[in-house]
Amino acid sequence: MKITADYSVNHQRRFNNNKPSFQRSWTEHISWGAKYIKETGKADFKLFTFPDAKKVFVEIGKNAESKFGNLWEKIVKLIAIQGAAFSIEKALPENENTSVYELENKGDGIFEAKSIPAKENSQYRYIIVTADNQVNLVKDPYSKQQPNIKGWSEIYNSDNYEWKNTDWLEGKDKRRIVRKPEEPLRGLENLIIEEINIPTITEKGTFKSAKSYIDKIAEKGIATAIEILPVENTFSKQWGYDGVDKFAVNGNLGTAAELKELIDYAHGKGLNVIMDMVPNHMGPDGDFLSKTGPYEKGSGEFGSLFNYEGINNRYVRDFMANAALWWANEFKVDGLRLDMTKLCYSDYLLKQIVAEVNEHNPNVFLIAEDGRNNLEKVTRYNKFEMTHDNELAMIDQGVDNIAYKRFNSNPGDIGFDSEWDFKLMHALKDPLSEPYKLNLDELDLTIWNSKYRTKFALSHDEIGNYDGTRFVAKALVPELALVNKAKGNTESTQWQNAAKLAQWLVEKTASGELDKMSMEELHRQAKEAGLKDNEHLSPRRIKTAFETSKAKQKLCLGTIMTVPGPKMYFQGDDEMDLSTFKFFRELSDEREKRAKNDSEILNLYKQKGYDTLEEIARPKSMLGRIKPKDPALIQEMKDYIKDLTDLVKNTPALLKGEIKSTIKDYTHKVHTHILSDNNEEYMVIKNFGDRFHSKEYGVANFPDGEWKEVFNGDEKKYGGSGYINSDRETPITRNNQGLNLAPNSLQILKKV
């Protein structure tokens, strides 16, 4: 199978004409919603609604200039319903700017209308007459252009951008990463992902302005891919996980064409693009699915849950599978990352998404954020072969058994290409703020099992969902015992205030302002920042803790980079960006609610420890907001990550090798893992302890042979203290170790 089968001229997969059709053909996948026919200037409409709905109509603006607001601005008054004799004209006031067309009932809740006069960008809505004679005015669940989350949908024309980097799409660019690599393309072991949030990487926070940041990523030469936090449509600019229009781009960030241009631009710079999508819930603002059909089954922690395994569920599962296909095909992404898949509460849905994407976009890889303690079946395939149509039939039957026969079943292995490695994340992240949580056994086990998982230490969640602080501030809290020194009546408020105080200290230290403060001024401002009245902080101790925290960040990222397989870091962590990243959003009715009831803001503030309103939290989350006085702070980290990733990219044992053995030194908190590939061996020594070892450290069970140091994170060029071993005149052997080993440092030895 060649990669050129991925896309054809009209952006869909080329199929063998002799291949038998199956239940969900490509034609069906792309038939939902409003499909604009450029050649005729008309549109087809297809909606899944309540199976017992009496009538469904589509109301269309007669010209592209007609702009309608909220769905409720036109009042519907139902005069009478007499079964089939019902006429929508009796229910709607006359309006010369719109036309109403009835959709044909195809059964099972599917309604269609063909060749309806409609222009590109014309607004439309569905009018659903339910079994109990309610009239629901709703937007299109498949809306691909939705200017107002509570308003009319717009007819979308896919022919809105001409792709430039066709070599990438056709598989001729060797920098492209695919799920089943063939020459010259590469596999997932080459993924070094920078996770980015469009609203915070530039001041404007748009797709257009994001190209300047893509330039920076490409110029640094560290990441091989970017992962874009969701751009599913919401009311405001935000971090993206409250989307309510699963097919439409958030217009606050730009147009669909501008998103395509950004992805195309990234491809031209040699960067693979991974798109986040959210299959586990609808956002809390602008959700009309319960009025549209049996799409939902109640509320969850973050919003309404989908009806993936309840009555009338097939087209709900198809809805989300089609969303994945939409992002893969329409926007030419190289991978999809599915948000918190365990909260879909349906492995059948997950397996269907995997099956559909593998069938129609065989080179697009899939990454799950699953959160079930690295459950093996998430990234494991069934051993037996099954045709695509039979696999879908098996999924349908399994869900029908659950929905109608109340017979519990599961689909077995799901088959994602990778998943986020939560175990490794916790093994590295938790000791940052609570050092006693360092568990070498847990770290050891997850390193052994992380090759096919996506490794990271902090993502948007570990930063924004807790206190908004990054590596250095999180590590500063225990270094200065700030939890005990921060104000607060409860444990949670003490932790929140400790984080705020740590961030304040980070900013004052990095900016050089700490050096200008008298002791009295330091104590006064620190108390304003959250320090208890009877506590004091030493400037010298603050600076020492700051340096230790920097070293811990390097050690965490170094560990991630030296375990084979995909890895990821959050935007700016490769430059030790010290800015906060906060959860931020604004709901459409938020200001009105805030004006009436202060509890709205108080509840969020108690949960997050800060105000989440976009205009407050987004500016504080801007990448590069904090400008260090000493530019070496940034350059040292850039050099560290660049040198390390260059070594990894050019060393098969580090890139995709096998873990040969591991060594745990509980006394000194040192962990070592040894990798091999084609007779090459490398040893990665990681000191999580606080002790300097000056030419006296020895690794227990040191392997045979002669070794030399090829990387040391404690080099002075990386901001370290210079405890290195590369200047030794004699090789390192089992009986001649005597290693220099700095606290919170990483070094790599190569067998000569």
Q: Which two tokens stand for residue 598?
A: 């202060």
Kindly state whether residues 165 and 133 are assigned to the same domain.
no
Given this model, what pLDDT does residue 93 score?
52
The tens digit of pLDDT for each residue in 674-730 reads: 999 998 999 999 999 999 999 999 999 999 999 999 999 999 999 999 999 999 989
Given this model, what pLDDT does residue 490 score?
87
What CATH number is attached to the domain comprising 144? 2.60.40.10
Determine the Cα–Cα distance for residues 746 and 748; give it in Å rounded to an integer.
7
In a domain, 430, yes or no: no
In 3D, which of 280, 288, 201, 194 has the Cα closest to residue 239?
201
Given this model, what pLDDT does residue 101 score?
92
Mean pLDDT of all residues in 110-127: 94
Given this model, what pLDDT does residue 381 score?
67
In a domain, 491, yes or no: no
Kindly state whether residues 200 and 75 are assigned to the same domain.
no
Whether the pLDDT of residue 297 is over 50: the answer is: yes
Given this model, what pLDDT does residue 8 score?
33
Kindly state whether residues 350 and 209 are assigned to the same domain.
yes
Given this model, what pLDDT does residue 393 score?
93
Given this model, what pLDDT does residue 219 score?
97
Question: How many other β-carbons are positioned within 10 Å of the β-carbon of residue 408?
Answer: 8
Asked if residues 279 and 323 have their Cβ atoms less than 8 Å apart, the reply is yes
In a domain, 39, yes or no: yes
Mean pLDDT of all residues in 328-341: 98
Mean pLDDT of all residues in 95-109: 88
Show Cβ contacts of residue 547 under 8 Å, excluding neighbours closer than 6 positions. 719
Higher pLDDT, 604 or 193: 193
Asked if residues 52 and 131 have their Cβ atoms less than 8 Å apart, the reply is yes
Task: Outline where DSSP puts E strands in 266-391.
Answer: 272-277, 296-299, 304-306, 335-338, 365-368
Kindly state whether residues 597 and 691 are assigned to the same domain.
no
The tens digit of pLDDT for each residue in 409-423 reads: 889 899 999 999 999
The tens digit of pLDDT for each residue in 11-42 reads: 333 333 333 334 688 999 999 999 999 899 99
Whether the pLDDT of residue 654 is over 90: the answer is: yes
DSSP state for residue 230 in the 8-state scheme? P
In a domain, 600, yes or no: yes
Domain end call among 603, 620, 637: 620
Whether the pLDDT of residue 5 is over 80: the answer is: no
Higher pLDDT, 381 or 21: 381
Given this model, what pLDDT does residue 544 score?
97
Q: Which two tokens stand for residue 562?
A: 């030296």
Q: How confident is the model at residue 618 (pLDDT cuts 50, 70, 90)?
A: very high
Whether the pLDDT of residue 45 is over 50: the answer is: yes
Kindly state whether residues 144 and 35 are assigned to the same domain.
yes
How many domains, the chain?
4
Given this model, what pLDDT does residue 92 score?
57
Asked if residues 718 and 642 have their Cβ atoms less than 8 Å apart, the reply is no
Determine the Cα–Cα distance for residues 115 and 15; give it in Å rounded to an integer.
26
Mean pLDDT of all residues in 112-119: 94
Q: How confident is the model at residue 51 (pLDDT cuts 50, 70, 90)?
A: very high
Given this model, what pLDDT does residue 383 score?
60
Range of 685's domain? 651-751
Determine the Cα–Cα distance for residues 710 and 144; give it in Å rounded to an integer.
51
Given this model, what pLDDT does residue 19 score?
36
Which among 121-125, 222-226, 461-465, 488-492 has the top mean pLDDT? 222-226
Given this model, what pLDDT does residue 409 score?
86
What CATH number is attached to the domain comprising 320? 3.20.20.80
Q: Which two tokens stand for residue 507?
A: 């900013």
- Min mean pLDDT across 68-82, 310-324, 480-494 is at 68-82
Determine the Cα–Cα distance for residues 478 and 228; give it in Å rounded to an integer.
32
Given this model, what pLDDT does residue 80 score?
36
Mean pLDDT of all residues in 289-301: 94
- Min mean pLDDT across 73-82, 165-174, 523-532 is at 73-82
Kindly state whether residues 148 and 94 are assigned to the same domain.
yes
Kindly state whether residues 712 and 735 are assigned to the same domain.
yes
Kindly state whether residues 202 and 341 are assigned to the same domain.
yes
Q: Which two tokens stand for residue 578?
A: 């010290």
Kindly state whether residues 591 and 679 are assigned to the same domain.
no
In a domain, 60, yes or no: yes
Kindly state whether residues 144 and 175 are assigned to the same domain.
no
129: left (phi over 0), alpha (psi -120 to 50) or beta: beta
Residue 85: is it exposed, middle or buried by C-beta count within 10 angstroms (0-12/13-18/19+)?
exposed
DSSP state for residue 20 in the 8-state scheme? P
φ/ψ (deg, to 5) at 641: -70, -40
Q: Is the dihedral of CA 25, 31, 36, 40 positive or negative?
A: positive
The tens digit of pLDDT for each residue in 418-459 reads: 999 999 999 999 999 999 999 999 999 999 999 999 999 999
Determine the Cα–Cα distance for residues 530 and 467; give it in Å rounded to an integer.
14
DSSP reduced 3-state for 732: strand
Given this model, what pLDDT does residue 79 score?
35
φ/ψ (deg, to 5) at 207: -60, -40
Given this model, what pLDDT does residue 601 score?
62
Kindly state whether residues 119 and 170 are assigned to the same domain.
no
Given this model, what pLDDT does residue 6 score?
36
In a domain, 438, yes or no: no
Q: Hey, what amino acid is at 122?
A: S
DSSP state for residue 21 in the 8-state scheme? P
The tens digit of pLDDT for each residue in 131-171 reads: 988 889 999 999 999 999 999 999 999 999 999 999 999 99
Mean pLDDT in the chain? Answer: 90
In a domain, 711, yes or no: yes
Kindly state whether residues 413 and 275 are assigned to the same domain.
yes
Domain end call among 420, 452, 481: 420
In a domain, 556, yes or no: no
Determine the Cα–Cα distance for residues 259 and 207; give it in Å rounded to an integer.
6
Q: How confident is the model at residue 611 (pLDDT cuts 50, 70, 90)?
A: confident
